[in-house]
Amino acid sequence: MTDIRSIGVIGAGQMGAGIAHVFALAGYDVQMSDISEEALTRAMDSITANLERQVRGDKITEAEMKAALARISPTIDLAPVGATDLVIEAATENEALKHEIFRNLAPHLADHTILTSNTSSISITRLASGTDRPERFMGFHFMNPVPVMQLVELIRGIATNEETVETLRGVVERIGKTASSAEDFPAFIVNRILVPMINEAIYTLYEGVGTVRSIDTSLKLGANHPLGPLELADFIGLDTCLAIMNVLHDGLADTKYRPCPLLVKYVEAGWLGRKTDRGFYDYRGEEPVPTR
């Protein structure tokens, strides 16, 4: 198996920052890249705040926090990312953008580097086919928030070799998480089940069966879910939910995966959930207030 010592993370949003946090804490050197210096600054601030929270909760020591922060190198340059042993692409859920990232990364890659994508729904086989190493390409799907959630979906494309699979299983074990194998079909396992449930909750709102609060309360108390489906949609990002539903609808050609028109309307309005302060709830006050 390939000995993984250094990690490249492309994308310094919520997922990329969480991935960098977890790997640095586990002892890996991390190159975290983004096209925006501002995004890199926000990501480092977020990582620092989350590590400090872990120190206050006695989950890690202050020395471990400082060591983890010292292992993360923010950069707008792809060259140091390409020189790492394992690259994790964690950009927006947009297939064309992901292909462009891997094309731009190609001239900088070391021969042994393994490529992965944190995509939550896009075909791994298609992404891999645009690179020079489809046999060393996998889906490496972390759950949000990365430092808290235990699962990592490992998705092999049609060309992925066994050595890559076993190497990434070892990496998942080393960072203290649990790997789940999924086949390369639209949205894999978690989002194939979860996001259509969210979409159905939005239809339930759209059709007037329940209000935002009654739908969320019903699932929290009636199904023992920690968050209601509309709260969860806001947390994930309504644009991400819509992108996943579109992948399911296009990839499986089944009308049961048709995105709810109300979800489309919210995304068109730019009300994407927590990250824009408005989605199914308005987060601009002291307490979230339903927007419908």
Phi, psi of 127 (to 5 degrees): -60, -45
Task: Determine contact, residues 175/154, Cβ cutoff 8 Å.
Answer: no
Tokens of 263: 């979800």
Per-residue pLDDT, 227: 96
Q: Which residues are catalytic?
A: 120, 141, 153, 191
Phi, psi of 85 (to 5 degrees): -80, -30
Q: What is the dihedral of CA 203, 225, 186, 201, to 10 degrees?
A: 0
DSSP state of 135: G
Superfamily of domain 6-182: NAD(P)-binding Rossmann-like Domain (3.40.50.720)
> Where do the structural domains in the chain lie, given as residue ranges?
6-182, 190-290
248 contacts: CB under 8 Å, gap ≥ 6: 121, 186, 187, 192, 195, 196, 254, 257
Pairing of strands 151-156, 178-182: parallel
What residue type is 251 in one-letter code?
Answer: G
Per-residue pLDDT, 291: 97
Per-residue pLDDT, 2: 73
Per-residue pLDDT, 174: 96
Pairing of strands 151-156, 137-142: antiparallel
Nearest to 267 by CA among 291, 230, 240: 240
- Residue 2, Ramachandran bin (φ over 0: left; ψ between -120 and 50: alpha; else beta): beta
Question: Cα–chain-centroid distance for residue 281?
Answer: 22
How far from 77 is each of 8, 74, 108, CA to CA, in Å? 11, 9, 10
Q: What is the dihedral of CA 89, 95, 99, 100, to 10 degrees?
A: -90
pTM to 2 decimals?
0.89
- Strands of the sheet with 72-75, listed across from one edge: 72-75, 29-33, 6-10, 86-89, 114-117, 137-142, 151-156, 178-182
Per-residue pLDDT, 292: 93
Distance CA 222, CA 209 (A): 16
Low-confidence stretches of the chain (pLDDT beneath 50): none
Nearest to 233 by CA among 246, 221, 242: 242
Task: Determine contact, residues 115/87, Cβ cutoff 8 Å.
Answer: yes
Residues in the chain: 292
Give CATH for domain 190-290: 1.10.1040.10
Can you list the positions of beta strands (E) in 130-271?
A: 137-142, 151-156, 178-182
Distance CA 10, CA 38 (A): 15
Per-residue pLDDT, 15: 95
pLDDT, tens digit, for every residue of 121-151?
899 999 999 999 999 999 999 999 999 999 9
DSSP state of 164: H
Per-residue pLDDT, 1: 61
Question: Cα–chain-centroid distance for residue 247?
Answer: 16
Angle between helix 190-206 and helix 229-236 axes, rounded to 10 deg: 120
